[in-house]
Structure 1
Amino acid sequence: MSLEIGVILPTSSPQPGQAILGDVRESARYAEGLGLDSVWSTDHLIASAPMLDSSVVLATAAAVTERITVGYNVLLLALRPVAWAAKQINTLQLVSNNRLVVGVGTGNPAHGDIGWRAAGVEFSDRGRLTDEALAVLPNLIAGKPAVLPEPIAGKLGVERRLSSGEADAQLEVTLSPGSPVPPIFIAGTGARAHRRAARYGDGWATIAMTPDEVRANLASINELADGKTLKATVIAPQLDGNAAEQLAAYEEAGAERIILPPTGNWRHDYETAATLR
């Protein structure tokens, strides 16, 4: 079986009020020592439970490991100016020796809109801003010229009077140094997320879908993908007594990677994941 098995670093929790905060260095080294394929950091500014900054977490994990993939699961790209996000991504690529994978999503509504408001982003704009960012992200990461809308003062909450000519201005940006563009997968299950994955993604991600649901969604996405064939990352898959057969069913349905959910005891979680692998 070529299915990759990943785990989430102990820096967040899907359950409100139940913090899972552990030693990032120790947990990343432990996952690598067990032979796991990847470690992941959840991303948000203000969530329903405590959460560490994902870029700092991944930099820490990369610094104490040599082989294991490190990844965003998933990066809320629209929370940040895209040039800053690209700078963090290409720096992580360089310091990790190209071990980064970037999942991109638009955020779980269960966390509310407070984090978006704090970042000066309208919650209702997050899908549009994600699409706009994805359109220029690869060039920015690679150190190639990218054209951004300018000025951005309004997005930063700064008052500025603009003439109609200024409002339509654009800014050409080149980040240096560039890096290889990491694999980018796009999360989401709606029609707009399918189109986003087909257009911008190297893969697609979903939470807790069955193998049959994964197969059906991938078929829909790949019909839109203009010659690409995307595979799936399945987060928190539905596994029970016969996990080996279920993992094989996910792989047959088009999954390339499984990310197991945290339970509150990361050592036990990682050992379970290693046994499954």
Structure 2
Amino acid sequence: MEFWLGAAFVDTHEFVPLAKAADRLGYATVAVSDHIFYTDYQSAYPYSDTGAPPYKPDTHWPDVWVTIGAMAAVTERVRFATNVYIAPARDLFTVAKAVSTAAVLSGDRTILGLGVGWCKDEFLQTGQDFHTRGRRLDEMIPALRTLWQGGTVEHHGTHYDFGPLSIAPVPDRPVPVYIGGDSDAALRRAARVGDGWIGNRVYTEDQLADLLARLTRHLSEHGRTLDDLRVIAPIAAMPSADLYRRWADRGVTGTMAAPWWLATPDEKARHGRTLALKLATMERFAEEVIAKM
């Protein structure tokens, strides 16, 4: 079982020390979330009853690729993932060049987690069509993989048409592409073209069992099984080695942890809502759970 550090809603200055700690303590991946700006959104946030997003105007959303570059420079082992990057809100070459550069500078420690996005406002401001975002992402993924091969390449499709051309630098190894989201469209996309799947919320064990069954059905349509896909699933249960062993046996290859959300009253009293609290709870989680796996 891999343990990913879910670093959403983290202040920008905290990413580098958190990455250093994750590297030292045995976390597999640091996951960074993506938004371009905050506004009085026209779009309803799909995962709350009110439609309001669970963050505020002053919540930090640093550029994910700049942040990954900074964290990679001070670490040796831990990987970095986007959870998730809304690629179709950007043009193809911006995505290709940013991801490729991060992969090279990190020594192939970068995972591209992708989603179609819910926020129409971001698409309007970046000049990308919100209504074709799913179809464009379906075409973008193979186009990105072609560009990352290196050398002179071309692609002629419905939404993207380029070449012959080349970009540099390109990574030595293929960048893993994980698909985020639990809609049927997202699960079908993961089954069809994904190297992995990332859950976009915390799931009860019953919900997770249902998701794995749905994902298994979609994979079978493409001659694949859960063994062919990395499955990263946040689980709504108290962390324990037994919990994670049980789900590893059922095909879950990793989970998401933000240990400071489960800080004890004593830890909160001692550290407050500070970087020190995050580091202390990360250390405790590593001792109580990761080390036992």
* TM-score normalized with structure 2 length: 0.76
Count of equivalent residues:
247
SS in 1 for 2:113: strand
**1:202 is the counterpart of 2:195:** yes
CA distance in 2, matches of 1:250, 1:85: 33
Of residues 100, 125, 128 in structure 1, which corresponds to 2:132? Answer: 125
Contact 1:77–1:130 at 8 Å: present in 2 too?
yes
CA distance in 2, matches of 1:95, 1:148: 29
Give deviations 1:125-154, integer Å, cap 9, x for gaps. Answer: 2212211211211111222513156998xx
Q: Could you say which residue in structure 2 is the equivalent of 1:238?
A: 236
1:154-169 matches, cutoff 5 A: none
SS in 2 for 1:57: helix
**Cα drift, residue 85 of structure 1:** 0.9
Contact 2:139–2:159 at 8 Å: present in 1 too?
no
SS in 2 for 1:246: helix
Of residues 218, 224, 238 in structure 1, which corresponds to 2:221? Answer: 224
Letter matched to residue 180 of structure 2: A
Gaps of 5+ in 1: 14-18, 153-168
Give deviations 1:66-92, integer Å, cap 9, x for gaps. Answer: 111111111111121122211111111
Of residues 111, 120, 140 in structure 2, which corresponds to 1:113? Answer: 120
Of residues 270, 274, 277 in structure 1, which corresponds to 2:282? Answer: 270
Q: Could you say which residue in structure 2 is the equivalent of 1:34?
A: 25
Q: 1:273 to 1:217 in 2, by over 3 A?
A: farther
CA RMSD, Structure 1 to Structure 2 (Å): 2.4
Q: Could you say which residue in structure 1 is the equivalent of 2:77?
A: 67
Q: 1:146 to 1:138 in 2, by over 3 A?
A: same
Q: Could you say which residue in structure 2 is the equivalent of 1:101?
A: 111
* TM-score normalized with structure 1 length: 0.80
Q: 1:128 to 1:150 in 2, by over 3 A?
A: closer
Q: 1:217 to 1:173 in 2, by over 3 A?
A: farther
**Cα drift, residue 253 of structure 1:** 2.0
Give deviations 1:156-211, integer Å, cap 9, x for gaps. Answer: xxxxxxxxxxxxx7543321232221211111222221221122111112132334
CA distance in 1, matches of 2:177, 2:106: 16
1:242-257 matches, cutoff 5 A: 243-257=240-254
CA distance in 2, matches of 1:238, 1:172: 48
Q: Could you say which residue in structure 1 is the equivalent of 2:62?
A: 52
Q: Which has the higher strand share?
A: 1
CA distance in 2, matches of 1:96, 1:57: 11
Letter matched to residue 202 of structure 2: A
**Cα drift, residue 215 of structure 1:** 2.5
Letter matched to residue 188 of structure 1: G
Of residues 13, 16, 30 in structure 2, which corresponds to 1:25? Answer: 16
Q: 1:250 to 1:151 in 2, by over 3 A?
A: closer
CA distance in 2, matches of 1:90, 1:170: 18
Gaps of 5+ in 2: 39-52, 262-272
CA distance in 1, matches of 2:252, 2:158: 39
